[in-house]
Structure 1
Amino acid sequence: MDISIHTSFLPHDDPDASAAFYRDVLGFEVRSDVGQGKMRWITVGPAGQPSTSILLAPPAVDPGITENERRTITEMMAKGTYGWILLATPDLDGVFEKVRASDTEVVQEPTEQPYGIRDCAFRDPAGNLVRIQELR
């Protein structure tokens, strides 16, 4: 079987701030930006990897979601417990310094984990947890 990861989803509550973070802080390309106002679907991804993307999307827009579920998603986003992603880089310290210089909320500075990887963590503008591990 030949299956690849094409797109992963992360919610946003401020499309301009989210697009700026992934573009200006992490250096991703903005590949598409459709919709208007807060109802925008923005596809970003690392340069040189056109087949791998992150879709930044408004949360809870599915018509099948109840009002109670929308409220729960909004509460989880506010606490930073709804979305997260794991990225990797050969230059963890360099990426971390760029992220820290952008006044992004740092959750964990670069740390050698007991399970054998070195990583750091921070939150994007929507509160999503972004972990970056070091490629060795």
Structure 2
Amino acid sequence: MYKIANVQLWVHDQDEALSFYTQKVGMEVRADVTAPELGNFRWLTVSPPGQPDVSIVLMAIPGPPMLDPATAEQVKDLMGKGVAGAVFLTTDDCQATYRELSDRGVEFVEKPEVRPYGIDASFRDPSGNHIRLVQLNESGM
């Protein structure tokens, strides 16, 4: 048997992403490790309070040898359009969480709306990643 441990979002600036996800969204740092032997590669993860077994990796867009410059630019372009990554967060009260995050400075691109599966809202992080906030109804689609 296996479980999901991490999911990854590309970010333009790890410090900016860390500030956004901890100060505005209210997540906790799970790991922040720099490996000098790997060219100062930084492993940075966050997750919601009370959910330490699954983390979001806030991954800087790498250069060579992992990505050539043209591919790195394509990733940046897709991020700017909000299609390079998405995270779905669930909440028991979408309206209350929307107000709380808005009060912390999160700018929503979609306010809470009733959908067939529940109440849904969305915002984007500073790198353009799309985050959905969902209060599921009984159907739990």
Class of the TM-score when normalised by the shorter of the 2 chains = 0.7 to 0.9
In structure 2, C-alpha distance between the alignment counterparts of 1:105 and 1:62, rounded to whole Å = 34
Output the TM-score relative to the length of structure 2.
0.82
Counterpart residue number, 2:10: 11
Whether 2:24 is the aligned partner of 1:25: answer yes
In structure 2, C-alpha distance between the alignment counterparts of 1:102 and 1:129, rounded to whole Å = 18
Output the TM-score relative to the length of structure 1.
0.85
In structure 2, C-alpha distance between the alignment counterparts of 1:61 and 1:105, rounded to whole Å = 30
* Match runs of 1:38-57 below 5 Å: 40-57=42-59
In structure 2, C-alpha distance between the alignment counterparts of 1:133 and 1:62, rounded to whole Å = 37
Equivalent residues of 2:30, 2:46 under 8 A apart: yes
Relative to structure 1, the CA distance from residue 91 to residue 62 in structure 2 (aligned partners, 3 Å threshold; closer, same or farther) is farther
Structure 1 unmatched runs, 5+: none
1:2-40, Cα deviation, whole Å (9 max, x unpaired): 22111100111122221112112222111111239x963
Counterpart residue number, 1:118: 119
Number of paired residues?
A: 133
Code of the aligned partner of 1:28: M
**1:135 to partner: Cα distance:** 4.0
1:95 to 94, 97, 118: 97
In structure 2, C-alpha distance between the alignment counterparts of 1:109 and 1:93, rounded to whole Å = 9
Relative to structure 1, the CA distance from residue 90 to residue 34 in structure 2 (aligned partners, 3 Å threshold; closer, same or farther) is same
1:43-68, Cα deviation, whole Å (9 max, x unpaired): 11122221111110102446242222
Percent identity (aligned): 32
Range with greater deviation from structure 2 (38-47 or 104-113): 38-47
RMSD: 2.1
Equivalent residues of 2:63, 2:69 under 8 A apart: no
Aligned to 1:24, the other structure's residue is in SS state helix
**1:116 to partner: Cα distance:** 2.2
